[in-house]
Amino acid sequence: MSTPSLTSPTLITTEDWRGRALVPVLVFVGLLIAVVSSLGSPLIPTIATDYGVSLGTAQWSLTITLLVGAITSPVVGRMGDGPRRLPVLLVSLGILVVGSVLAALPGTVFALLIVGRAMQGVGLALLPLAMSVARDHLSPKRSRSTLATLSVTAVVGVGLGYPITGLIAEHLDLHAGFWMAAGLGVLAMVLVALVVPQSVHRPRQVFDVPGALLLGLALAGLLIAISESDDWGWTSGTLWGLAAASVALVGIWVWHELRTAEPLVDLRLLRHRTVLTANSAGLIAGIGMYMLMTMIIRYVQTPTAISYGLGASVVVGGLVLLPMSAFSFGSSKLVTYLGRWATPGQILPLGVLTLALSLLLFATGRGSLWEIFVIMGIGGVGIGSSFAVMPRMIVSSVPAEETSSALALNQVLRTIGYSMGSAVTATILTAHTSAGAKLPTNSGYTVGALVAIGLLLVAAALSWLLPERRTPRPLTADDELEILEDTDAAISGTITLDEGVESTGRVHA
């Protein structure tokens, strides 16, 4: 068990330069996360061309980042939740910088790019640490405004980062974006070391090493089995052996997490049916969201010479993600007002079905760029409304002392869904790529969309049938702030894990 805190956090004022610089430095870290997040989907076709690999193989440059993010976010969150938050921040930034440099090195060694992209995945855990610093070391009024700024920075920054990354890749080269991330990362390390205070007031945490190893091995095995199924063949003993071993590891991990005193992810919270609903929907919606994103990015950049692509540049490939980012952010704010007339349990299935509608439109009509923009806008409405009600359902269903742990579980499952969506897309499109060809057939995108629709229909049904029918507990001002942070972090494609002491001093399980 963690030991109690013996001191109070040091409040930072604006009386000296460090106090005035703290908020801008934290916002800069948020912008760095946006840059790293934008070095994903739009660059996959360019990576395939430059490295001479198939699109399915190039997809691993995104999948590996999401996978590492899913594994390391609870790890970094737990390690940074104690008295060593500043060293954890600096080490995480250092890993991100080294990974960016490896990905930026010129050459044709695809494995080096994959290693670099994997190390960049650690950066997905930086936003919660920045939010934790603001919550602990700023006055309540300044903390609330800073947390709101950080959330907006992450959401808007990712949306703008896609076309900016495309411009850099198109007018310089693929590696320029990674060099930019490395340079920004070094600057962030210097600024954080100079400005961010120590967290000696926080209790020491017990780190669940077996849980982290089991989760990492299980997820890696499952994603490899999914991604390599077409190359190995569905009758391959290696494929089914790896899948069976991965499922067994998942079972062992669940058994371990339910019995350890300080679990990496508190699975006991799934005893609440409403929490189970939000987590199931989060996992499946994460799969559907990334299937939509990756299919559309690959589709619009496919050359028109093969009869179905739109022949768009990397810049346009990034621009098509802007409607999704904008409408996600807007609809997440709209849900707050819709909550006066509808319950979260009613809004969630509608949000999931809206995301399914965007995939249905993609399956049936994708012949022009304006259709793609409409599809992404509708998808954004579904994503924003779904991700906005999930934390509200969770917070209103669990005791106050379990709030952060419950949100952390939802965020981990969402990110696992992201990595699975990336891997499933690569598998389906690779299966519809003829021998000797580098691009899939047009029907592959239709099949991928139909698979995603089927999954989302299951999620919508669960969202309607599974929740508990009881009066939720009233939400406090702190609850509303935590819901806001979680929603914006989810929409920005990052993970928020803060299982420790809030500015109120309350210790979470």
Under 8 Å CB-to-CB from 455, ≥6 apart: which residues?
284, 287, 288
Q: What confidence score (pLDDT) does residue 446 get? A: 94
Q: What is the pLDDT along the chain (509 residues), one digit of tens a residue?
A: 444 444 565 666 667 777 788 888 988 888 888 778 777 777 788 888 888 887 778 888 888 888 888 777 777 766 766 667 788 889 999 999 999 999 888 776 888 888 999 899 888 778 777 777 877 777 777 776 776 677 666 666 666 677 777 777 777 777 888 888 899 999 999 999 998 887 665 556 667 788 888 888 888 888 788 777 766 777 788 888 988 998 999 899 889 888 887 777 777 777 778 888 888 888 898 899 889 988 998 899 888 888 888 888 878 877 888 888 888 878 877 877 776 777 777 888 999 999 999 999 999 988 889 999 999 999 989 988 888 888 778 877 777 666 666 777 777 788 788 888 888 888 898 888 887 777 888 999 999 999 999 999 999 998 888 776 665 666 666 666 666 666 665 655 533 333 333 333 333 33
Q: What confidence score (pLDDT) does residue 94 get? A: 94
- How far is residue 151's CA from residue 69's CA, in Å, rounded to a whole number? 18
Q: Contact, 22 vs 191, CB < 8 A? A: no
Give the DSSP H/E element, type plus range, for residue 302.
none
Under 8 Å CB-to-CB from 207, ≥6 apart: which residues?
75, 78, 79, 262
Instruction: State pTM to two decimals.
Output: 0.75
- How far is residue 153's CA from residue 158's CA, in Å, rounded to a whole number? 8
Q: What confidence score (pLDDT) does residue 215 get? A: 83
Helix (H, G, I), strand (E, B) or coil at 433: coil
Q: What confidence score (pLDDT) does residue 324 get? A: 85
Amino acid at the residue 353: L
Q: Contact, 500 vs 81, CB < 8 A? A: yes
Amino acid at the residue 495: I
- How far is residue 467's CA from residue 405's CA, in Å, rounded to a whole number? 19
Amino acid at the residue 7: T
Q: From residue 462, how far is each of 156, 273, 351, 396 by CA, in Å? A: 31, 11, 13, 18
Q: What confidence score (pLDDT) does residue 240 get? A: 87
Q: Contact, 357 vs 363, CB < 8 A? A: no
Residue in this structure with the two tokens 């692509």, named with its chain if needed: 309
Report how far Cα 369 is from the mean position of its chain's Cα atoms: 26
